[in-house]
Amino acid sequence: MLSRSAVSVTALAAILLLSSAVLAGNYTLREEITGRQFLDRFWFWSYSDPTHGTVDYVDEFTAVARGLATVNSDGRFMIRADNTTVVPFGQGRQSVRLHSKRLMSDGVLVAKFTHMPQGCATWPAFWTCTNDRWPSGGEIDIVEGANDQGPRNLASLHTLYGCHIPTGSRSDQAGVTSQSDCSYQPGCSASFNANNSFGPNFNQNGGGYFAMRRETRPGDPGIGVYFWPISTAPSAMPAVVAAIANGVSAPKYVVTNSNATGSDRSELAKWGQPSAFFANTANSTASASALATGDGSVCQMQDYFDEHEIIINLTLCGDWAGETFGFSGCAAQYQNASCESFVRNNPSAFTDARWEIDYMRVYDNASSPNGRPARLLSFAILLAMIGYLVV
């Protein structure tokens, strides 16, 4: 028979787990960012490019002074690459890379873009990542592509060894998974099925909405990335995505789990199928083959994903756009120039190399400004439990 203290500890552990489970899938609006608010909520990376691009990431003062970070006449926050300067040999073209000041863990991230960078040598990305030693703590790529090689967006995960996603077409996503092993580079990735989800086609269509649902705790489903083209009726999208477009304020919370009832259940149905889905599959539920070979689904996500910064950037050339510049057709288009030479000597080619962001919003269940997940019981319950334990 268990002692009273053992029973008490067991009961406390059970309640703590229950409180965490209740919080999972029920997220509160923490940030809604528009216009100049981006300057307050993000910091400007002004160091060398970790992906070895032909860029010079500038600080906030330089970006604002040179018009590389501004609010346009439509009220959209815009960041761009320089498109006026011939760059000396050995230097990179000035561009912008933003990191959120507040960290995000599990929750919902939404962004509406009217325009994303396009053109040869461009490599735009909207993503979240640990600020620790990459890829420890994980990376989630929501929007990414290079050299206009869409027209379909690519969503990816990058982790330490041990996370695998099944390849091919699957019933849990609209897109197609081409890479299974999520570790390091190239990570595991899924190509969207929408032809207007990236690059020139996205811009010609007038933009669209992206959302990422990150739910990585034990028993949670995993990570889904969603896309709706601008032509989608606001009433057909979740209110957390379409609120401003629909002329109403964003809802204060969102419920994503199957326990939703009433209007929350109606909202949940509007999410539909994600464009890309990465399942949270615990080691205890994975097949023997998946555990032994990675041929199947195994990704115990609590082991791979920590708090993340939200990042939006534009690099040029580098590890992806530089390596694919030749067979993308860009080199032939510009007299077989190298990617680096093209970037330095053709400023006008970067007229459309810009992000135009209508809004971004973050929902989570954070207990502190840095985004740590809330796992707290009410003060009264804690007092009661402590009193019971010490009697």
pLDDT at 365: 85
The 8-class DSSP code of residue 258 comes to: T
Q: What is the pLDDT of residue 244?
A: 80
Residue 382 lies in a domain: no
Provide the 3-class DSSP secondary structure of residue 379.
helix
Is there a domain that residue 383 lies in? no
Residue from 367, 26, 13, 20 nearest 217 by CA? 20
> Residue length, the chain?
391
Q: Residue 1: which pLDDT band, with cuts at 50, 70 and 90?
A: very low
More confident residue, 226 or 370: 226
* Tally of CA atoms within 13 A in the half-sphere of 95 that contains its CB: 33
Angle at 93 between CA 92 and CA 97, to 5 degrees: 100
Average pLDDT over every residue of 106-133? 96
pLDDT at 25: 84
- Domain residues for 331? 25-364
pLDDT on residue 149? 86
Establish if 385 belongs to a structural domain: no
381 belongs to a structural domain? no
Check residue 260 and give its pLDDT.
79
For the chain, state the CA radius of gyration.
22
Of 194-198, 267-271, 285-289, 344-348, the one with minimum mean pLDDT is 285-289
Residue 245: the pLDDT is 67
Classify residue 50: in a domain, yes or no. Answer: yes
Q: Beta strand 107-115 with 354-364: parallel, antiparallel or unpaired?
A: antiparallel
Q: Would you say residue 379 lies in a domain?
A: no
387 domain-assigned: no
pLDDT of residue 377: 37
In a domain, 195, yes or no: yes
Q: What is the domain-level CATH number for residue 239?
A: 2.60.120.200
Nearest to 139 by CA among 100, 183, 192: 183
**pLDDT computed for residue 181 by the predictor:** 95
Q: Which pLDDT tens digit goes with each residue over 359-382?
A: 999 999 875 444 444 333 333 333
| Over residues 107-129, mean pLDDT | 98
What confidence score (pLDDT) does residue 127 get? 98
Residue 24: pLDDT band (50, 70, 90) is low
- For the segment 100-118, the average pLDDT, to the nearest whole number, is 97
pLDDT in tens, 142-168: 999 999 988 899 999 999 999 999 999
Q: What is the pLDDT of residue 381?
A: 36
Question: Per DSSP, what are the bridge partners of residue 69?
Answer: 79
pLDDT greater than 80 at residue 27: yes
The band of 23, judged by pLDDT with boundaries at 50, 70 and 90, is low
How many folded domains does the chain comprise?
1
- State the chain's mean pLDDT as an integer: 88
Supply the DSSP symbol for 164. Answer: B
Which pLDDT score is estimated for 131? 87
| Greater model confidence, 18 or 84 | 84
Q: At 320, is the pLDDT very low, low, confident or very high (cuts 50, 70, 90)?
A: very high
* pTM given for the model: 0.87
Instruction: DSSP for 280-291, please give it.
Output: -B-TTTS-HHHH
More confidently predicted of 288 and 343: 343
Which has more pLDDT, 270 or 290? 270
Helix (H, G, I), strand (E, B) or coil at 236: helix
- Asked if residue 343 lies in contact with residue 87, where contact means CB atoms within 8 angstroms, the answer is yes
Q: What pLDDT is recorded for position 61?
A: 98
